[in-house]
Amino acid sequence: MAKQRWVIEQSFGTLKGLFHGGPARYITGEKVGAELTLKAVTMNLLKAANRINLVAA
């Protein structure tokens, strides 16, 4: 269980650190879900860019 928990904790730590993933800014569940989805997509794009060694312009 510790191995699985480490992966999840690391993901949330990265999300919180890079994209200010603290408390949700919106009240409705639909808007909160959209915000979290957007942050997850941006985190995955950042990971992909780092894997293929893209250089920011």
Q: How confident is the model at residue 55 (pLDDT cuts 50, 70, 90)?
A: low
Mean pLDDT along residues 4-9: 76
pTM of the model: 0.57
Amino acid at 17: G
Measure CA 5 to chain center.
Answer: 16
**Residue ranges in the chain assigned as alpha helix (H):** 2-19, 29-51
**For 8-45, how does the pLDDT look when each residue is reduced to its tens digit (9 = 90+)?**
787 777 777 777 766 766 678 888 788 888 888 888 88
